[in-house]
Structure 1
Amino acid sequence: MNQYIRLVLNVLGMAVIFTACKKDNDAGNKQGAVTIGLYQYQSGSYKRIFLPLTKVGTQAVNYYTIFDTGSAGLTLDAQGILPASMITADGIQVTGDSVVVNGITVTSKTSVMSYGDATGLFKEYGNLAYTTLTLGDANGNITTQRIPFFLYYKLVKVSTNETMPAHSADIFGVAPGFSYASQLIQSPLSYLDVGSNNKKGFRLALLKRDRFTTAGSYVGGLLTIGLAPADLLPTAGFIMHPMQYTARSGYSPNIPATITYNGTSTQAQVLFDTGNPMQTIIENQLETNALGNLPVNSVVNVTTNMGFSYTYTTTGSSNFTLIQNPNNSDDYRSIFSIDFFVENEYLTNYTDHQTGLKND
């Protein structure tokens, strides 16, 4: 396991390693829907899926970004991408409005990104930037046009003011709406030309339960970029949910739902989040602050306002579920973890502002 991957795992439970597999036949630099693979990795109870980046601007790179349905926009560490002389403890040095380095336009517009909640918060500091990207690797890839992203130079754990190692939070956020760093930044997948007959968006196939291993696995065909008309027909089996819009955040992936666990029912705004590596978090204002984790063999059901329903049982090795009062977290969303995606397919339609959910 290389040093970069170890740093990511040690800081935030994020990791991947390489195993060869056959190429995805329909991926490449062409107009229309394409399908590429992702890497599945597990360390203890933590699971991650990663999308490789093999070119940033004019540079060949070897970075593995967390594929995250819970946030919008790419965040990428400047270390190894910009000359070291441009990166200081106080920020990225930019003369004037912007500078072009290695095919990357770095602007003087700075911002701060936050990840986590009041119980565990990390902050990224950096600049708005623009570049082209090659998504995927030799197993299958696609190159984007010039798109905006957040280029960070520092990641800090707020509770300790500790600066984390470089590339600890390279995140490929595919949620709809705007990045918290800038309203100019959205999901990289939303900028891709998928052809006149298709909708902008993506479909995530079922993750493979047996491919989450400490050795890591490349799994072909997991991510389809661009939605064909057939993907959106009722016969495809997805239950579609309209997205809500706010001026501050744009379109939201949160879905109104009712959650029931061990005889208790609560109304919720639900986020299905591949970026949550281990534990579903159910927020309930009526619960005590110290309720904590549900015991093994607890039954949980979520039913959305459009009739999608999913039930699971907690075990000693998966579907860990925490019941929390939002007064603790300052976050009123209930967030379902990556375990959801082992049993359900997921679709985001950027063109028509819809989220699709499908039982399998």
Structure 2
Amino acid sequence: MKVKYYLLAAAMCSLLSALLVSCKKNSADTSAMITSVPTISPTKLGLYEADSSIYKQLYIAVPKIGTQTVNQYLLFDTGSGGMVIDAHEVLPATMISTSGFNFTGDSTVVNGITITSQKSSISYGADNSTTETVYGNLAYAAITVGDHDGTITIKRVPFLLYYKGVDNSGKIEATGAFDIFGVDSEYDVVFSNGAYVSSPFSYFDPGTGLTRGFKMAALGTGNFSNAGNYVAGVLSVGLTDNDLTSAGFTMHTLSAYQNYGYPVIIPSSFTYGSKSVTAAYTVFDTGTEPYNYLEDPTATKNITLLPTGTSLSVLTGSNFNYGFTTTASDYLSYVEKTSYSGTDVSIVSLEYFLNNEYLLNYTGHQLGLKNN
């Protein structure tokens, strides 16, 4: 999701049995001792691929939060970090008001969800004129992710449990309008006690021999529907050595920012038509659709929708190149003047993910991009 302020699934886990052959006590012959190390495979999770007219969105199933079955479908978002969910979907209505939660003390536990007194907000939007904000509290719970072919459980995940979401004019948004499963390695929000909210996947232990992170297969174009088609195996949670070194990804080292973690913002340059912007930053974002947003400090207008047939390319600092051409219904792209938009971070929308792959390494703070 384009964040203005800088700011499911088949579970597979195969374990090979260990063969332990021991020799008798005091034997000098150690050649007979053979140990086979267990091998664990990445966990496969699916996504729901939905569209309406020119809009496409991805959703991931979260059937359980705390001890309560909730059967929620959250927007799968590579452009923000952390789970954000509406309290009206998981708490009794008597606990919620437009100004906060009704409890006393530092925290309370409801249905296995620990709700703290730590408050904050997160703002989303394409530019200064479209900002929408959620207000909530730091909460913790075990969550179950996935459905159909299997699930995974992630223990004690910090997230923002929000009691109110408003648009730029202050109008209260519909229940669940900002339910987001953000997998970016940034901290979407840092609370006054030092706690922060980041990707739920970053808290998942994938098993011995695997690195914390995930990779995402190219989505293709044939599975999107208005009802939302479940597509198995889109995500592989847990990265192998091969994923990190030999799978063809162009790797980008992410930089740390105080109070923001390791955002998936990478140095880049881009061209559109005959114009080039040589010093830029870019996010590849499943949560932004159907438009790309290119931030140009020297643009002649505040915001311009590029005409059909315009060629664009983004070149990252690690020499990954992504090129496309606008059509009447696909790869729609705005150019914004940075003084108008309030950000210098350009956004490549979900359409990148239709034909290309994506990888995020939480342990090594790396982002991988791969042309298919």
- Whichever residue aligns with residue 246 of structure 1, its letter is Y
Aligned to 1:237: 248
Change (3 A) 1:174 1:27: same
Structure 2: distance between partners of 1:273 and 1:55: 26
Secondary structure at 1:85 match in 2: helix
Aligned partners of 2:202 and 2:213 also within 8 Å:
yes
Structure 1: distance between partners of 2:60 and 2:11: 17
For residue 179 of structure 1, the aligned residue among 176, 188, 196 is 188
Secondary structure at 1:140 match in 2: coil
Aligned partners of 2:189 and 2:196 also within 8 Å:
no
Q: CA deviation digits over 1:12-51, x for unaligned, max 9? A: xxxxxx9xxxx736169xx762011000000111110000
For residue 252 of structure 1, the aligned residue among 250, 259, 263 is 263
Q: CA deviation digits over 1:95-135, x for unaligned, max 9? A: 10000000000001111111113120111011000001110
Query: Normalized against structure 2, the TM-score is what?
Result: 0.87
Structure 2: distance between partners of 1:224 and 1:252: 20
Aligned to 1:125: 135
Structure 2: distance between partners of 1:335 and 1:120: 15
Aligned to 2:88: 79
For residue 280 of structure 1, the aligned residue among 273, 292, 297 is 292
Structure 2: distance between partners of 1:281 and 1:291: 9
Deviates more, 1:243-252 or 1:341-350: 243-252
Aligned to 2:107: 98
Q: CA deviation digits over 1:57-76, x for unaligned, max 9? A: 11111211011111110000
Query: Normalized against structure 1, the TM-score is what?
Result: 0.90
Taking the TM superposition and a 5 Å limit, the aligned residue runs for 1:252-271 are 252-266=263-277, 267-271=279-283
Gaps of at least 5 residues in structure 2 are 1-7, 15-39
Aligned to 2:163: 153
Aligned to 2:37: none
In the TM superposition, what is the alpha-carbon distance from 1:277 to its structure 2 partner? Answer: 1.7
Structure 2: distance between partners of 1:25 and 1:324: 41
Q: Which has the larger radius of gyration?
A: 2
Aligned partners of 1:27 and 1:142 also within 8 Å:
no
Change (3 A) 1:127 1:32: farther
Aligned partners of 2:10 and 2:146 also within 8 Å:
no
Taking the TM superposition and a 5 Å limit, the aligned residue runs for 1:1-360 are 24=10, 26=12, 33-116=42-125, 117-158=127-168, 160-180=169-189, 182=191, 183-233=195-245, 235-266=246-277, 267-360=279-372
Change (3 A) 1:321 1:278: same
Question: Alpha carbon RMSD of aligned pairs, Å?
Answer: 1.7
Gaps of at least 5 residues in structure 1 are 1-17
In the TM superposition, what is the alpha-carbon distance from 1:184 to its structure 2 partner? Answer: 1.9
Structure 1: distance between partners of 2:11 and 2:337: 47
Secondary structure at 1:295 match in 2: coil
Structure 2: distance between partners of 1:27 and 1:169: 32
Aligned partners of 1:256 and 1:304 also within 8 Å:
yes
- Whichever residue aligns with residue 283 of structure 2, its letter is L
In the TM superposition, what is the alpha-carbon distance from 1:310 to its structure 2 partner? Answer: 1.1
Change (3 A) 1:25 1:151: closer
Change (3 A) 1:287 1:230: same
Q: CA deviation digits over 1:286-337, x for unaligned, max 9? A: 1112451111111101111111111111111110000110111101100010
Structure 2: distance between partners of 1:291 and 1:157: 20
In the TM superposition, what is the alpha-carbon distance from 1:177 to its structure 2 partner? Answer: 2.1
Structure 2: distance between partners of 1:133 and 1:291: 41
- Whichever residue aligns with residue 259 of structure 1, its letter is F
Deviates more, 1:110-119 or 1:186-195: 110-119
The total of aligned residue pairs comes to: 336
Q: CA deviation digits over 1:126-153, x for unaligned, max 9? A: 1000001110113332111111100001
Aligned partners of 2:360 and 2:368 also within 8 Å:
yes
Aligned partners of 1:37 and 1:140 also within 8 Å:
no
Q: CA deviation digits over 1:217-273, x for unaligned, max 9? A: 10111011110111011x300000000111121112111111011011002100000
In the TM superposition, what is the alpha-carbon distance from 1:82 to its structure 2 partner? Answer: 1.0
Identity level (%): 41
Structure 2: distance between partners of 1:143 and 1:334: 34
Aligned partners of 2:11 and 2:151 also within 8 Å:
no
Aligned partners of 1:69 and 1:175 also within 8 Å:
yes
Structure 2: distance between partners of 1:200 and 1:179: 19
In the TM superposition, what is the alpha-carbon distance from 1:178 to its structure 2 partner? Answer: 1.1
Aligned partners of 1:289 and 1:328 also within 8 Å:
no
- Whichever residue aligns with residue 271 of structure 2, its letter is T
Structure 2: distance between partners of 1:262 and 1:274: 24
Aligned partners of 2:67 and 2:112 also within 8 Å:
yes
